[in-house]
């Protein structure tokens, strides 16, 4: 295998083989509408390839040959009339919602039923996931309903190539799927294929442009709306609604008004009219995403108005059309003085937003990053999530691996998200983060990691992160390792058979704990950052220590960590309800992995695991770098073939080389730094520089 092997666009988790089982059956599709056409098209293609047969039955069309018993797979809307016999009595009509489906198998036929076409689309992809298992034995009726109707990806794509941030801000997968150097791509076939991949893992909304809305991108709302229309047309067949990130100062920049004051009548009229025009062209438009008064983006503060005033302005403009505004809570002082230890960036989102609870419109969603800082490898859950009972709150994840190896490192993030989603701020008997987000009507959002790279995600194994986000958004209770298994089986379908068992084991060995491995060799015990400023890749322990960004570790010769306690620190722990706040406040109860996020401790402090902080730093860094090398050794034993094409093999191999190199660099810089600061030697006498 060489680098010059031709690389076609990789099918990701939808290779043709994923449809072999259903494509070799007799299939009946029953129902009308655009999404039903998509379902029928999928079935038609699969049957053409694998020798099955299929029939589309239209409403009212009946006849002996259309009896469901002649089919091995029936995909039908519950309102279909007459209902194919395999589907009769399976489920009560009207109980599956807009997107749910029911699946059962009896008398030799598998039936998938849904109240709405979107449900059948998700049901079809579920059958693909099950493969032959969908046609074996009988199955009691299973009902599959998404935990939340809002399962969204944000793209940080720019239209113009930004001088510092490029075509895609924090993008590690080549260029944008939508734009190339200032223009919409001519051919949106790939965007349609992207929509298909997203639907197959459960995502139903995409914000197409960067939340940092620069000059050209602001025009998507008006004279470049055509770009959004074309993208919406490409994604619609897979049930995906398009959203736009908008610039809060648009009334000035685009409308020629002297102000963007959210309470100004002209400003309100401008947003109303502009929004009306958007809906004229895109009737199923999802709504707006706004980053306001954050990292230099304009917002309501310029007019002495609150974030609620800002969000409500846009919510009111969107409301007549059923649209939503996602208002981001990533607001903090990015001009902090490192000498001032009382200002704490972690506190900022809560301080800004908690007092506004109850003031947001019904169609405004507060979009909160999962942690209080910025998508670090390890952070506590953001206290904002539990602090706004009268606000719709969406939890935001980052699939693009800005701080988790930039798709050069294997870092499967399913376990991180699953941990966050399962966290219970009020204690064991109370709601999880996933339940809070769903019950509030906020849902889940993540920054996409996809681009025009032939493998979609730069690192082929990073596809698993995109897949896992969708699946966990659909059902946060899924075991992330089982989700990884699904992804392996779909993507490397032959792995589902005997020959693939070894590949499956290898991928699990490399990926299951890869987030922990990455955590081991990077910033220790939840302290965060220590990355190279600006590009956020690779180690630079003091890179941010004396900057204005508020991301400090405060290491000195005696100890390290940020005191965020109420007793002696910034008081951040008080933003949590009981018992989580008490747990973090207490040095004894604080989980080891978050110790340095909440406490400044001496290097000799003994962790729950019995090790001192300094020895733990040495041990985890030696071990993490070694485990990265083990991943490479495991991959070396994989034999290219089948769906492990030479190009895919080589791409993974080349990235593993970089991961091993970078992990060693992290190990040596971190260990050396703390040895020099503390003067405490490694008790195992390993090499520190
Ligand atoms: C889009 C981090 C990233 C920025 C990003 C920002 C955000 O700070 O480094 O590139 O900007 O988050 O989420 O808005």
Task: Convert 606-622 to b/e letters by CB count within 10 Å (16 or more is b).
Answer: ebeeebbbbbbbbbbbb
Q: Is 474 in the pocket of ligand 1 (CB under 6 A)?
A: no
Q: Look at the block and give the residue holding tokens 């701080």.
A: 403
Which helix (H) or strand (E) segment holds residue 289: the answer is strand 287-290
Distance 248 CA to ligand 1 centre (A): 17
Q: What interhelical angle do 414-422 and 463-474 show, nearest 10?
A: 20
Of the candidates 281, 264, 268, 274, which has an alpha carbon nearest to the alpha carbon of residue 227? 281
17 belongs to the catalytic site:
no
Catalytic residue among 99, 374, 396, 452: 374
Of the candidates 153, 178, 155, which has an alpha carbon nearest to the alpha carbon of residue 233? 178
Q: Is 552 in the pocket of ligand 1 (CB under 6 A)?
A: no
* pLDDT profile of the chain (689 residues), mean per 10: 61 96 96 95 98 91 62 94 85 96 94 97 98 94 98 98 97 98 96 98 98 98 98 98 98 98 98 98 98 97 98 98 98 96 96 98 98 98 98 98 98 98 97 98 98 98 98 98 97 77 94 98 98 97 98 98 98 98 98 98 97 98 98 94 91 98 98 98 98
Q: Are the C-beta atoms of 262 and 300 separated by less than 8 Å?
A: yes
Task: Convert 561-599 to b/e letters by CB count within 10 Å (16 or more is b).
Answer: bbbbbeeebbbbbebbeeebbebbbeeeebbebbbbbbb
Distance 218 CA to ligand 1 centre (A): 18
> What is the DSSP secondary structure assignment for residue 652, as one 8-state letter?
H
**Nearest ligand 1 atom, CA 156:** 1
Rounded Cα distance between 360 and 319, Å, is 13
Rounded Cα distance between 85 and 80, Å, is 11
Say how far residue 98 (Cα) sits from the centre of its chain. 22
How far separated are the first and last CA of the chain, in Å rounded?
Answer: 38
Distance 155 CA to ligand 1 centre (A): 12
Of the candidates 236, 218, 220, which has an alpha carbon nearest to the alpha carbon of residue 228? 220
Which helix (H) or strand (E) segment holds residue 143: the answer is strand 139-144
Rounded Cα distance between 257 and 248, Å, is 13
Rounded Cα distance between 197 and 204, Å, is 11
**Nearest ligand 1 atom, CA 447:** 13
Rounded Cα distance between 193 and 357, Å, is 40
Q: Is the pTM of this model over 0.85?
A: yes
Q: Are the C-beta atoms of 127 and 490 separated by less than 8 Å?
A: no
Rounded Cα distance between 89 and 93, Å, is 9
Q: Which residues on adjacent β-strands are paired with residue 444? A: 151, 395
pLDDT of residue 7: 60
Rounded Cα distance between 544 and 552, Å, is 7
Residue bearing the CA closest to ligand 1, atom 2:
374
Q: Is 240 in the pocket of ligand 1 (CB under 6 A)?
A: no
Catalytic residue among 42, 217, 344, 402: 402
Distance 548 CA to ligand 1 centre (A): 15
Q: Is 170 in the pocket of ligand 1 (CB under 6 A)?
A: yes
Q: Look at the block and give the residue holding tokens 């009306």.
A: 276
pLDDT of residue 63: 56
Q: Is 374 in the pocket of ligand 1 (CB under 6 A)?
A: yes
pLDDT of residue 456: 98
> Residue 256, CB half-sphere, CA atoms under 13 Å: how many?
0
Question: Which one of 156, 245, 372, 404 would you pick to mutate in the ligand 1 pocket, going by the greatest count of ligand atoms within 8 A of its CB?
Answer: 156
Distance 294 CA to ligand 1 centre (A): 9
374 belongs to the catalytic site:
yes
Q: Is 211 in the pocket of ligand 1 (CB under 6 A)?
A: yes
Rounded Cα distance between 607 and 592, Å, is 6
Say how far residue 309 (Cα) sits from the centre of its chain. 28
Q: Is 330 in the pocket of ligand 1 (CB under 6 A)?
A: yes
Rounded Cα distance between 460 and 649, Å, is 9
> What is the DSSP secondary structure assignment for residue 615, as one 8-state letter?
H
Q: What is the pLDDT of residues 404-453, one digit of tens each?
A: 999 999 999 999 999 999 999 999 999 999 999 999 999 999 999 999 99
Say how far residue 488 (Cα) sits from the centre of its chain. 18
Rounded Cα distance between 183 and 149, Å, is 32
pLDDT of residue 172: 98
């Amino acid at each position: 295998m060489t680098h010059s092997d031709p690389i076609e666009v990789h099918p990701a988790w939808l290779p043709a083989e994923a449809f072999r089982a259903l494509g070799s059956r007799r299939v009946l599709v029953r129902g009308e509408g655009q999404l039903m056409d998509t379902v029928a098209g999928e079935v038609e293609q699969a049957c053409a390839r694998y020798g099955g047969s299929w029939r589309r039955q239209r409403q009212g069309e009946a006849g002996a040959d259309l009896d469901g018993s002649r089919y091995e797979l029936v995909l039908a809307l519950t309102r279909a009339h007459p209902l194919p016999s395999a589907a009769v009595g399976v489920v009560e009509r009207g109980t599956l919602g807009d997107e749910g489906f029911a699946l059962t198998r009896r008398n030799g036929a598998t039936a998938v039923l849904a109240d709405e076409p979107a449900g059948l689309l998700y049901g079809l992809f579920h059958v693909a996931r099950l493969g032959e298992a969908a046609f074996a034995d009988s199955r009691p009726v299973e009902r599959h309903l998404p935990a939340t109707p809002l399962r969204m990806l944000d793209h940080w794509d720019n239209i113009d190539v930004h001088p510092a941030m490029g075509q895609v801000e924090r993008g590690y997968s080549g260029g944008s799927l939508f734009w190339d150097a200032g223009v919409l791509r001519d051919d949106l076939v790939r965007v349609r294929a992207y929509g298909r991949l997203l639907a197959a893992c459960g995502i139903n909304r995409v914000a197409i442009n960067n939340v940092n809305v620069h000059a050209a991108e602001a025009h998507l709302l008006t004279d470049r709306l055509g770009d959004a229309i074309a993208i919406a047309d490409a994604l619609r067949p897979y049930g995906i609604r398009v959203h736009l990130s908008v610039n809060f100062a648009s009334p000035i920049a685009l409308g020629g008004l002297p102000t963007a004051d959210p309470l100004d009548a002209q400003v309100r009229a401008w947003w109303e009219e502009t929004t009306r025009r958007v809906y004229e062209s895109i009737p199923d438009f999802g709504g707006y995403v706004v980053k306001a008064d954050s990292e230099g983006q304009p917002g309501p503060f310029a007019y002495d108005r609150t974030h609620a005033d800002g969000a409500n302005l846009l919510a009111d403009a969107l409301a007549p059309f059923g649209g939503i505004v996602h208002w981001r809570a990533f607001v903090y002082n990015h001009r902090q003085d490192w000498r001032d230890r009382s200002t704490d960036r972690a506190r900022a989102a809560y301080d800004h937003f908690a007092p506004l609870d109850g003031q947001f419109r019904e169609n405004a969603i507060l979009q909160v990053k999962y942690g209080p800082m910025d998508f670090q490898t390890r952070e506590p859950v953001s206290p904002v999530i539990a602090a706004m009972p009268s606000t719709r709150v969406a939890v935001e994840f980052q699939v693009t691996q800005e701080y988790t190896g930039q798709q050069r490192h294997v870092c499967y993030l399913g376990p991180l998200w699953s941990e966050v989603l399962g966290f219970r701020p009020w204690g064991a008997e109370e709601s999880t983060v996933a339940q809070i987000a769903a019950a509030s009507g906020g849902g889940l959002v993540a920054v996409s990691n996809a681009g025009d790279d032939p493998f979609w995600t730069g690192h082929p194994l990073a596809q698993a992160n995109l897949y896992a986000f969708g699946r966990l958004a659909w059902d946060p209770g899924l075991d992330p390792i089982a989700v990884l298994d699904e992804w392996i089986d779909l993507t490397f379908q032959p792995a589902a058979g005997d020959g693939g068992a070894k590949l499956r084991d290898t991928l699990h060995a490399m990926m299951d704990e890869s987030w922990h491995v990455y955590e081991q060799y990077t910033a220790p015990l939840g302290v965060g950052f220590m990355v190279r400023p600006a590009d956020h890749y690779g180690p630079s322990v003091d890179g941010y220590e004396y900057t204005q960004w508020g991301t400090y570790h405060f290491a000195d010769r005696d100890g390290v960590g940020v005191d965020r306690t109420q007793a002696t620190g910034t008081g951040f722990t008080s933003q949590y309800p009981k018992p989580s706040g008490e747990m973090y406040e207490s040095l004894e109860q604080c989980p080891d992995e978050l110790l340095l996020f909440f406490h400044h401790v001496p290097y000799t402090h003994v962790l729950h695991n019995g090790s001192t902080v300094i020895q733990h730093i040495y041990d985890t860094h030696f071990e993490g770098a070694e485990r990265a090398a083990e991943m490479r050794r495991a991959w070396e034993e994989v034999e290219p073939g089948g769906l492990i094409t030479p190009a895919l093999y080589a791409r993974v191999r080349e990235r593993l080389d970089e991961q091993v190199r970078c992990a060693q660099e992290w190990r040596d810089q971190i260990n050396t730094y703390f040895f020099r600061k503390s003067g405490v030697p490694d008790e195992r006498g390993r090499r520190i520089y």
